[in-house]
């Protein structure tokens, strides 16, 4: 069994960065530092609370972990073994408006369905 890789560690962050660039190529600069901190904490199983301004791309905190796990599980030979994973990742999002919920869903569909 491979040793456990923490996402917050250098190898974990590098692996997540590589996956994000692969699955969301339009994000040429990868995750922003705050997004990376949130995503790595979530993937390590930590509880997080994030309060930031509108437009700070908080949606990455719940969408990117799912995309990372899907890619990691689909192509394990491409990445270092030992990253904490779940076979069927699930995210729950509570939004204050239907419009915001629709925007989030559209964004996720584009990320997941775009080759």
Residue 112's pLDDT is: 64
- The model's pLDDT over 42-90, given as tens digits with 9 standing for 90+, comes to 999 898 888 877 777 777 888 899 899 999 999 999 999 999 888 887 7
CB atoms within 10 A of CB 68: 27
d(CA 53, CA 112): 25
Domain spans in the chain, listed from the N-terminal domain onward: 10-113
Tell me phi and psi for residue 26, to 5 degrees. Answer: -70, -15
- Greatest mean pLDDT among 20-24, 45-49, 85-89, 107-111: 20-24
């Amino acid at each position: 069994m491979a040793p456990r890789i923490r996402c917050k560690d250098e190898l974990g962050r590098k692996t997540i960065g590589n996956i994000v660039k692969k699955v969301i190529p339009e994000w040429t600069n990868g995750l922003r530092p705050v997004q990376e901190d949130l995503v790595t904490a979530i993937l390590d199983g930590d509880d997080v609370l994030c309060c930031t301004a509108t437009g700070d791309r908080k949606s990455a905190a719940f969408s990117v972990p799912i995309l990372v796990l899907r890619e990691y599980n689909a192509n394990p030979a491409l990445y270092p073994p030992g990253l904490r994973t779940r076979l069927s990742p699930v995210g729950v999002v509570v939004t204050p408006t239907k419009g915001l919920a629709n925007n989030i869903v559209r964004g996720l569909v584009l990320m997941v369905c775009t080759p």
